[in-house]
Chains A and B, each alone.
Chain A
Amino acid sequence: MKKRRQLNRQGKFLVFVLMTLSLFFIVGLMDSHSEKEAHKKEKAVPSNAAEPLIPTFESKEMFSKSKLNQSIQAKKLKEKEESVAQNREEQRKKDQKDKAIYLTFDDGPTTHTTELLQVLDHYDAKATFFMIGPNIKQHSEVVKRIANQGLGLGLHGISHSVHDIYADKTAPTKEMTEAQQILQEITGIRSKLVRLPYGSVPYLTDDMRYLLYQNGFKIWDWNVDSKDWELGDKRYVKQTIQEIEKLEQADQTPVVLMHDRKKTIRYLPQLLGYLKKNGYQTKKITNEVPALTFTCNGRCYAI
């Protein structure tokens, strides 16, 4: 009994020691746990939030609308006009020797063009036709005759409407390119000669001129307005002769504006008779002849 009591005491002591150790262990764990808890609370919110992307680029404005481009165009246009003026002076000297005159007919071909060709042929006269695209299609046989008769072929656009052909900076080039293709399909000839409806001043702006030049077109205006459209009868012949004589005195080569219309053709023999009598040589315009173009000089504006 005595021995058993001693063992119980040892057992109790052992249990006491184990319990004390376990208690230290648990308290230690709990202490460490609560330390980490506190630490975690500090980290409850991420220290660095990721930032969004910052836009880097902005859209660029179109170059064609820039001041720089406008100044480049103006410079190129000036250079082109100066070069044409120089070439025209050389041409003028040659033309003066021949006493040349350039007759031009706009708005054709029409149902009267055949008669016009007969008159020209009768006087052995050369001329140039600035024709409208749809008319070229409609009177394709006459156009072939014009080409075969060795006369000049030029373009007068498609619409003949101020609101269409001057609608925006690309419109004149578009219309002339379309007319050029129509003419080429019918005659096989690629003409670069263009005459703008109502002339290049005031509606053909610098932008439009620049684009036409970029596309290789040569812009032809005139220095003699026959006013055949306005006068409507033989008075246009007198008007034209007066203008030609003025130019002759100024040593200039006449480029005469007329229209492919019945009344003009009716009185044309009078004019051709005068020219023949006075020793003028009618010439056709080709891609190689330097163009007579009105310069804007601040007069041009967009419609």
Chain B
Amino acid sequence: MFKELIAMLYSMIIVGLLLTGCNHDEKIAEQIYSNLEKSAQMEEKFAAKQQNLSELGHEEQAAYQEITSLTMDQENQVRKKLKEAQEYNANLKRTLNGTKESFDKAYRNILSVETNMEKIKAKEQKVKVSKIVQVMEKRHDLIENYYKKYENILKLNQNLYTCMQEKDINATEIDKQIKTINQAHTEMLKIEEQFNQFTAKYNAAKKQYYQDRAGQGV
């Protein structure tokens, strides 16, 4: 009878220890969750700034269209609009820097996830977290390249508006510049498309992780 009671006690202790082990992974998961959420908040800021960029970009484009639809009889209006277009361009540059910063913060939060990931004992969970980190790395590489091209277009735009202010406008030279801008824009669209594909993958990887975590109870 006494031996049976001792065996029962041991069993209870083992169950207790197992539950404590799960509790360890749970704490790590909580930290990961916290980083993911912080990163998601930064992504929200990033998306809002992207929206600002888009609106400013459309304003700049509208200014260019308006300038080119005027005539030399409206020279004062042309000069005024050229100045406006340059201001939009400068504003785009400032907003771009802020947008870049938001994404970098989101990225850094995911890098913190990577540190915690190593401590997870459950292999499947580890793989899922690793997938999130990998896709974010890819997004980071793409956005870096995207911003380089973006900055280049802003420089080209600046040159374009400077040339358009010259007294002796050279249409052939301006056309060359526009061709370069449009080419850079096409390249940017490709990166944009790739980035968006990886963003979809990123969201899917996150969703998978959250669902598994909820299902497995770790």
**What is the interface of chain A, defined by CB distance below 8 A to chain B?**
11, 15, 18-19, 22-23, 25-26, 29-30, 32-33, 36-37, 40-41, 43-64, 66-75
- With both beta carbons as reference points, the residue of chain A lying nearest to B8 in the complex is identified as A19
- With both beta carbons as reference points, the residue of chain B lying nearest to A44 in the complex is identified as B214
Measured in the bound complex, the distance between the Cα atoms of B67 and A74 in whole Å is 17
Measured in the bound complex, the distance between the Cα atoms of B202 and A36 in whole Å is 25
Check A46–B214 contact: CB distance below 8 A: no
Check A67–B70 contact: CB distance below 8 A: yes
Check A46–B203 contact: CB distance below 8 A: yes
CB-defined contacts of A56 to chain B, threshold 8 Å: 53-54, 56-58, 92, 150
Check A53–B195 contact: CB distance below 8 A: yes
Q: What 11 additional pairs, Cβ within 8 angstroms, besides A47-B37, A50-B40?
A: A19-B12, A44-B213, A46-B36, A49-B40, A50-B202, A51-B43, A53-B146, A55-B192, A62-B179, A64-B175, A72-B171
The contact of B171 among A48, A51, A64, A67, by CB within 8 Å, is A64
Check A67–B71 contact: CB distance below 8 A: yes
CB-defined contacts of B211 to chain A, threshold 8 Å: 44-45
CB-defined contacts of B185 to chain A, threshold 8 Å: 57-59
- With both beta carbons as reference points, the residue of chain B lying nearest to A170 in the complex is identified as B172
Q: Beyond A40-B214, A56-B150, A58-B61, is A50–B70 a contact (Cβ under 8 Å)? A: no
Measured in the bound complex, the distance between the Cα atoms of B47 and A15 in whole Å is 62
Q: Beyond A48-B44, A66-B69, is A15–B5 a contact (Cβ under 8 Å)? A: yes
CB-defined contacts of B26 to chain A, threshold 8 Å: 36
CB 8 Å contact bits of B182-218 with A (1 = contact, 0 = none): 1001101100100110011011001100110110010
Q: Tell me the smallest distance from the CB of A281 to a CB of chain B, in Å.
A: 39
Check A37–B217 contact: CB distance below 8 A: yes
Measured in the bound complex, the distance between the Cα atoms of B176 and A64 in whole Å is 10
CB-defined contacts of B71 to chain A, threshold 8 Å: 67-68, 70-71
Check B72–A68 contact: CB distance below 8 A: yes
Q: Tell me the smallest distance from the CB of A35 to a CB of chain B, in Å.
A: 11
**What is the interface of chain B, defined by CB distance below 8 A to chain A?**
2, 5-6, 8-9, 12-13, 15-16, 19-20, 22-23, 26, 33, 36-37, 40-41, 43-44, 46-47, 50-51, 53-54, 56-58, 61, 64-65, 67-73, 78, 92, 106, 139, 146, 150, 153, 164, 169, 171-172, 174-175, 178-179, 181-182, 185-186, 188-189, 192, 195-196, 199-200, 202-203, 206-207, 210-211, 213-214, 217
Q: Beyond A30-B19, A44-B211, is A53–B192 a contact (Cβ under 8 Å)? A: yes
The contact of B54 among A33, A54, A59, A60, by CB within 8 Å, is A54
Check A63–B210 contact: CB distance below 8 A: no
The contact of B69 among A11, A58, A68, by CB within 8 Å, is A68
Closest CB pairs A-B (n = 7): A56-B57, A66-B68, A48-B40, A51-B47, A71-B71, A44-B214, A52-B196
Measured in the bound complex, the distance between the Cα atoms of B185 and A56 in whole Å is 9
- With both beta carbons as reference points, the residue of chain B lying nearest to A61 in the complex is identified as B68
A-B contact pairs, 18 of them (CB 8 A): A19-B8, A29-B19, A33-B217, A46-B40, A46-B210, A47-B37, A48-B44, A49-B206, A50-B47, A50-B202, A51-B44, A52-B200, A53-B195, A61-B178, A64-B174, A68-B72, A71-B72, A73-B171
Check A61–B43 contact: CB distance below 8 A: no
Measured in the bound complex, the distance between the Cα atoms of B135 and A280 in whole Å is 89
Measured in the bound complex, the distance between the Cα atoms of B195 and A58 in whole Å is 18
- With both beta carbons as reference points, the residue of chain A lying nearest to B192 in the complex is identified as A53
Measured in the bound complex, the distance between the Cα atoms of B73 and A58 in whole Å is 28
Measured in the bound complex, the distance between the Cα atoms of B217 and A224 in whole Å is 102
Check A71–B73 contact: CB distance below 8 A: yes
Q: Tell me the smallest distance from the CB of A69 to a CB of chain B, in Å.
A: 5
CB-defined contacts of A49 to chain B, threshold 8 Å: 40, 203, 206
Q: Beyond A45-B207, A56-B150, A72-B72, is A19–B5 a contact (Cβ under 8 Å)? A: yes
Q: Beyond A50-B202, A63-B175, is A19–B146 a contact (Cβ under 8 Å)? A: no
